[in-house]
């Protein structure tokens, strides 16, 4: 499968909180753990692939080592469930692309990525 990412990613666990507006009003607040991070986005792990639609824009809070949360918006660009040779689920979740991250958000990403050139 051909790689479509513009930004290199780095494996790391990052707590990400998602706020999603419900169709009937109000908000759902969900917490996820990421499996990787890049300057362009992150992949959140979940077995529930009915939470978001592709193309949906959501509000996110990304944890910076428990010291601060960076707020931003993201677009759901991928949903995936990867199976192993024996049918076991190896990975499952959503790819999120950051939308117009602020300068402080970008600085945090660069620091967390440890100089990964993207």
Query: What is the residue extent of each domain of the chain?
Result: 9-112
The pLDDT value given to residue 79: 93
- Write the CATH number of the domain with boundaries 9-112: 2.40.10.220
Q: Mean pLDDT per segment of 10 residues, for the chain of length 118 residues?
A: 59 89 88 89 92 94 85 93 85 92 87 67
Residue from 7, 60, 69 nearest 36 by CA: 7
CA distance 7 to 118: 5
CB contact at 8 A, 37 and 10:
yes
Question: CA-based Rg of the chain, rounded to a whole angstrom?
Answer: 14
Q: List Cβ neighbours of 49 (8 Å cut-off, separation of 6 or more).
A: 79, 81, 92, 93, 94
pTM of the model: 0.82
């Amino acid at each position: 499968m051909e790689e479509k990412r513009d930004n290199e990613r780095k494996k790391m666990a990052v707590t990400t909180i998602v706020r999603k507006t419900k169709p009937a009003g109000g908000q759902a607040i969900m917490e996820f753990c990421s499996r990787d991070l890049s300057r362009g986005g992150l992949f959140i792990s979940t077995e529930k692939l009915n939470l978001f639609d592709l193309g949906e824009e959501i509000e996110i809070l990304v944890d910076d080592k428990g010291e601060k949360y960076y707020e931003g918006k993201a677009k759901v660009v991928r949903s995936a469930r990867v199976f192993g040779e024996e049918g076991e689920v190896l990975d499952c979740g959503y790819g999120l692309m950051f939308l117009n991250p602020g300068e402080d958000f970008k600085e945090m990403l660069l620091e967390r990525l440890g100089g990964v050139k993207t």
